[in-house]
Structure 1
Amino acid sequence: MNFDISKVRHSKEKTYGFLTLLIGTLVWLGIAAGILYIATTESIGILFVFLFYILIIWFFSYVARSLVRAYMMGHYVLVSEQQFPHLHKMVAEGAQKLGLREAPRAFVYNSSGVINAMALTLVGRTRYIWLTSALIDSDDEEQVRFVIGHELGHHVAGHLDEPWSFLRLPGLIIPFLGQAYSRARELTCDRVGLVVSGNLKSSRTALQMLACGSAKLNAQMNPNAFEEQDKMVPSIAGFFLNIFSLYPRHTRRVAALSEWRNALSGIPSAPSRPVQTGRAEPQIA
């Protein structure tokens, strides 16, 4: 069965995505109309001045992205069939499952202890995924698969595609709206990560690892207990922290993923279980 992002996309992303696209399109149309009016009533030279500045901005953006790509090629490790084949297989299988015509090129880089991953496009239409060394060391194989699925989600959901990203730009500058749209996109990609992973527990603990960050405690993590923490967040302070943030709080992401999975299966949330003791050594890829 073909993957359909519309069935996975979070409802808030649909709402905020529409608003940012609408506002952005109207702003760009207003700017274009203003430039045309000035050019026709004042001087055609003003039009060329605006076009010149647009060209300069595009040129510097192109140069910056080219430099980033050059740095990536020379300093990061390209994941391939010859280099970290197990990671390459995860990316290829995830891309195939999501219906991407071509799997993004994945890189691992030394993050000096920072656990993170990123999806991006640079020069051209090539898609990329960055995975930090700390993330690989801290997560087990199934958790890494979820993270890869999450980053693939940004690509399959069109979050980085042009011209839509450009059209949305004015809407993203509006206070709180841009942040709300960003948070909704992350919730969508968490769902895509679960689709790729196929393992709810690993998906939830992968999100929990962002808060924990300990490879030794990895196997002991209880996502149910962590999810319960979300109820302890003070409502007013939590609200203000949330509206200024580009990412949902970690506890909310775990809870939201459980709620979506349970809604699909029609089963109630599982009760929290006691944390099991034990030790897990770091997974080094």
Structure 2
Amino acid sequence: MDLVYKSEKPLFVLSMVIGTIVWLALVVGTFGVALVYVLLFLIIYLFAHSGFIAYLRGNTLELSESQFPDLYKQYLEACERLEIEEIPTAYLMMSDGILNALATRFLRRHYVVLYSSVVEALRSRPDALRFYFGHELAHIKRGHLNLQWLKMPASILPLLGAAYRRAQEYTCDLHGLAASNSREDALAALAVLGTGGEKLADVNVNGFIDQQRYTGGFWMSYHELTNDYPWLCKRLAHIAAVSGARNGRASEYKAPSRSFFAGVFAAFTPRFGVGGGASVLVLVAIIGVLAAIAIPAYQDYTLRAQASGAMPLVEQVESAAAEYVNEHKAYPESPADVGLPEEMETGPVSHVAVIDEGFELTLRSSNALLNEKTIVVGAYQNDDGSIQWHCVGGTLDQKYRSAKCRSQQP
């Protein structure tokens, strides 16, 4: 069975040709100035997308042999059936009933994000889960995530951009079918996207497929032509036909014809997102979500970098205080005992004092979240009588501290 939808390859070639011509024209026409803006955009995108990847790594569960091993085994089986040697990292994300999944790439690594609602709905049907896994893995196997910047000029063109994305979805469904190897479970995996898990057992798949008879009208034709996804009933019909043909039970799928006038209007609707007049709003929303994740993360990173400027002094206090205790069998009584003045005119620390808990270092910063905040370097005794040092005390927020001053416990 050919796992690539019939129109994907020619649309890919056309997109690459158009993209190459547009970029070359921009570079030559602006004498290279366009490259500066491209680089700036790529840097902004890198920081924005890094926020999403950081969110995945910090807040969602990574599938592994010790984390949902049954799901991970089925995921590996889907990779094996699709002959994917370098296994993408898979995460399970709480989805609040949203039925979807996604594949993404950051730098040179690939990730597959699985939504918990779909996994729960298909948990009792392993072949349906493998379809779900296989669909997302196909985006990686087919290189849909590669060279997107080069294809971008073509991707926003009316008709072409959305048509190429829909062809990718049909291709991914074919890969999902190959990973599943079960017609009924493949159809169930698609049907759950339209019904949810609770009603899946009662779905009349043939009735769902029959809804494609409505897709030839003006409005449905227009919104499909400007949308990144084919109508779900047509995707079901496509998989039903292909899997039936493979078993000698059906012929090649023929989609209902679309309204000619819908095509005319769609030819004047650029693609900026998932489709139609709302595509610009969707794009803005996506950028806003990514920015909402990335900007606070970046701000925390810069403040943490500023606060880390005090770490050499923290380590100096620990070392000098340890030597003082070993030599005098007593705790230092003043900053001078560890070779430091009380007041510092420059640097990340403005004041050093001895308090009951230990040495208190007061930070200096132009940012109110750091300025006048304190780090306390103190000592504690282990069960064997030995003394160790910590820097977890003080008023500085934990998220701005170095790993050392967050992980140690007195």
> How many equivalent pairs are there?
249
TM-score of the superposition, structure 1-length normalised?
0.82
Structure 2: segments with no counterpart, 5+ residues: 252-410
Alpha-carbon offset, residue 217 of structure 1 = 2.0
The answer on 1:245 being equivalent to 2:240 is no
Find the counterpart in structure 2 of residue 173 from structure 1: 156
What secondary structure, in the 3-state scheme, does the structure 2 residue paired with 1:128 have? strand
Query: Whole-Å Cα distance in 2 between the matches of residues 17 and 52 of structure 1?
Result: 27
Query: Whole-Å Cα distance in 2 between the matches of residues 139 and 219 of structure 1?
Result: 11
Query: Whole-Å Cα distance in 2 between the matches of residues 209 and 29 of structure 1?
Result: 44
Alpha-carbon offset, residue 16 of structure 1 = 1.7
Find the counterpart in structure 2 of residue 9 from structure 1: 4
Structure with greater strand percent: 2
- Ranked by relative contact order (alpha carbons within 8 Å, sequence separation 6 or more), the top structure is 1
The answer on 1:106 being equivalent to 2:90 is yes
Structure 1 residues 241 and 59: alpha-carbon distance in aligned structure 2, compared to 1, 3 A threshold: closer
Find the counterpart in structure 2 of residue 206 from structure 1: 189
Greater Rg over alpha carbons, structure:
2
Query: Whole-Å Cα distance in 2 between the matches of residues 50 and 247 of structure 1?
Result: 32
**Alignment match of 1:28 (pick from 9, 23, 26):** 23
Query: Whole-Å Cα distance in 2 between the matches of residues 216 and 69 of structure 1?
Result: 31
Find the counterpart in structure 2 of residue 135 from structure 1: 118
Paired residues of 2:94 and 2:117 also in contact (CA < 8 A) = yes
Letter in 2 for 1:216: E
Query: Whole-Å Cα distance in 1 between the matches of residues 83 and 128 of structure 2?
Result: 21
**Alignment match of 1:76 (pick from 40, 48, 60):** 60
The answer on 1:95 being equivalent to 2:90 is no
TM-score of the superposition, structure 2-length normalised?
0.58
Find the counterpart in structure 2 of residue 276 from structure 1: none
Structure 1 residues 178 and 51: alpha-carbon distance in aligned structure 2, compared to 1, 3 A threshold: closer
Alpha-carbon offset, residue 143 of structure 1 = 1.9
Q: How does 1:210-225 map to 2 (within 5 A)?
A: 210-213=193-196, 215-225=197-207
- Report which stretch shifted further, 103-112 or 235-244: 235-244
Alpha-carbon offset, residue 246 of structure 1 = 0.9
**Alignment match of 1:157 (pick from 131, 142, 149):** 142
Structure 1 residues 61 and 262: alpha-carbon distance in aligned structure 2, compared to 1, 3 A threshold: same
Query: Whole-Å Cα distance in 1 between the matches of residues 65 and 94 of structure 2?
Result: 20
Letter in 2 for 1:168: K
Alpha-carbon offset, residue 225 of structure 1 = 2.2
Structure with greater helix percent: 1
- Report which stretch shifted further, 75-84 or 90-99: 90-99
The answer on 1:255 being equivalent to 2:237 is yes
What secondary structure, in the 3-state scheme, does the structure 2 residue paired with 1:8 have? coil
Identity of aligned residues (%): 33
Alpha-carbon offset, residue 234 of structure 1 = 4.8
Q: Deviations over 1:211-231 (max 9, x none)?
A: 111x23222223222112212
Query: Whole-Å Cα distance in 2 between the matches of residues 113 and 240 of structure 1?
Result: 28
The answer on 1:85 being equivalent to 2:69 is yes
Structure 1: segments with no counterpart, 5+ residues: 37-46, 270-285
